[in-house]
C-alpha cells in the first residue's frame, strides 16, 4: 500500500468520531479556480506523494539509497465559526503519521492560513525509508 493510502485510512479512523468532518479519497484538484478543499469545507484532502531519492551511504558493492516521501493534506473551515472540536481534529490528523508503517523516520506539522472568511490547515507528512 502507498503512504497516501495509509494516511487516508488512518485519518479516517482518527477523526471518525467527529461527524462534521470527512476524508476524501480524491486528490485536492481545483474546480474552476477554487481548490476542492475550499469548496467542500470540513473535508480532508490528501495530496499525491512527492519522492526524493538520495544516496544515504556509498559502499563498495551497492549504494544505500534514502527515500524521503512528503505528502500534504488540506482542510478548510469557516474562520468566523470554528468548530469547537477543531483542535482535536487537527491533533488526530497529525497523529495519522503513525499509521504509515515500514519507515525509518516520520514527522508531521501543520500551518494555517486565513483568507477572507476561511481558515485552511495545510498538513505536511514526511517519511524516510532506507
Do 62 and 45 meet the contact criterion of CB atoms below 8 Å apart? no
Instruction: Please tell us whether the domain made up of 3-129 is placed in CATH 3.30.2000.
Output: yes
**Burial status of residue 62 (CB atoms within 10 A of its CB: 0-12, 13-18, 19 or more):** exposed
**Is this model's pTM higher than 0.95 or not?**
no
- Tens digit of pLDDT for each residue in 39-89? 999 999 999 999 988 877 676 677 788 899 999 999 999 999 999 999 999
Task: Return the C-alpha cell found at 33.
Answer: 479556480
Residue 83 DSSP SS3: coil
How many of the other CB atoms lie within 10 Å of CB of 37? Answer: 25
- Cα gap 58→112, rounded to integer Å: 40
Domain ranges of the chain: 3-129
The stretch 17-36 carries a mean pLDDT of: 92
Amino acid at each position: 500500500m502507498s503512504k497516501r493510502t495509509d494516511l487516508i485510512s488512518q485519518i479516517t479512523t482518527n477523526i471518525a468520531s467527529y461527524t462534521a468532518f470527512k476524508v476524501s479519497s480524491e486528490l485536492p484538484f481545483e474546480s474552476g479556480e477554487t481548490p476542492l478543499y475550499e469548496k467542500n469545507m470540513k473535508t480532508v484532502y490528501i495530496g499525491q506523494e512527492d519522492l526524493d531519492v538520495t544516496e544515504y551511504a556509498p559502499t563498495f558493492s551497492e549504494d544505500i539509497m534514502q527515500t524521503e516521501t512528503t505528502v500534504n493534506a488540506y482542510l478548510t473551515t469557516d474562520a468566523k465559526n470554528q468548530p469547537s472540536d477543531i483542535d482535536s481534529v487537527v491533533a488526530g490528523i497529525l497523529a495519522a503519521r503513525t499509521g504509515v508503517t515500514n519507515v525509518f523516520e516520520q514527522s508531521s506539522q501543520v500551518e494555517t492560513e486565513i483568507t477572507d472568511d476561511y481558515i485552511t490547515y495545510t498538513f505536511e507528512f514526511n517519511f524516510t525509508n532506507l
